[in-house]
């Protein structure tokens, strides 16, 4: 298959497998989504979903969150890892939201990326899942699958994001990035597939003889 043919095949197959793509992070508003995505860095969504109910019972809004004692936030989110850094970021961004955005999450990728602890990937998730604007958040898992499927040879997630945006229709981005994550977890994980095991890998590269080595993000 040519690259465009692989992309079309993958899109069709993922739409069949995952017609619905609910957010894997439990949240009720964009502020909770922002905090949950921040917590998910180097942590599983499952663990984040166990921690956030306690955190949001203590503070459901940035106005309330910024009044919490740092140690309180730290102790709640500690199971997510990187707790000192994440707790400081949550408190600082909550304060900024209150002071500069009237307690609301800004509807701008650039503004989100200026918040403490919020990088491009986190901001893209909030823009796509929270506001519904086209974005293609790329994490290390999507980076790996894009290489296995011959959609990108990027050396980092920035290059991979650009490649995927070029090859897939803009209207598919928000749903597709979640579909790829779901598929990777279920069928094409780091240890569960080496580029020759899952259905998509076999379909795209039926003659692949050796494991596909991917460049780390």
Residues annotated catalytic, as ranges: 121, 139
Which burial class, exposed, middle or buried, applies to 113 when counting CB atoms under 10 A from its CB (0-12, 13-18, 19+)? middle
Whole-number Å distance between alpha carbons of 28 and 72: 22
Residues 6+ apart with CB under 8 A from 61: 31, 103
Whole-number Å distance between alpha carbons of 100 and 63: 12
CB 184 within 8 A of CB 142: yes
Whole-number Å distance between alpha carbons of 22 and 10: 19
**Alpha helix segments (H runs only) across 59-206:** 62-65, 70-77, 83-101, 109-113, 120-125, 140-148, 157-167, 173-186, 199-204
């Amino acid at each position: 298959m040519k690259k465009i043919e692989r992309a079309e095949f993958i899109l069709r197959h993922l739409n069949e497998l995952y017609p619905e793509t609910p957010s894997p992070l439990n949240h009720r508003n964009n502020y909770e989504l922002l905090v949950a995505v921040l917590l998910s860095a180097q942590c599983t969504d499952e663990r984040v979903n166990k921690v956030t109910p306690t955190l949001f019972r203590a503070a459901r809004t940035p106005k309330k969150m910024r009044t919490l004692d740092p140690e309180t936030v730290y102790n709640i989110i500690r199971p997510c890892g990187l707790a000192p850094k994440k707790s400081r970021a949550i408190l600082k961004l909550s304060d900024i939201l209150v002071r500069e955005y009237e307690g609301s999450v800004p509807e701008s990728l650039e503004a989100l990326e200026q918040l403490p602890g919020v990088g491009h990937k986190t901001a893209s998730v909030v823009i796509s899942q929270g506001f519904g604007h086209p974005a293609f958040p790329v994490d290390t898992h999507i980076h790996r699958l894009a290489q296995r499927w011959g959609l990108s040879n990027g050396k980092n997630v920035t290059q991979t994001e650009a490649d995927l945006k070029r090859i897939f229709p803009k209207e598919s981005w928000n749903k597709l990035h979640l579909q790829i994550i779901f598929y990777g977890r279920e069928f094409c994980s780091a240890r569960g597939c080496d580029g020759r095991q899952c259905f998509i890998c076999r379909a795209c590269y039926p003659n692949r003889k050796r494991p596909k080595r991917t460049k780390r993000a």
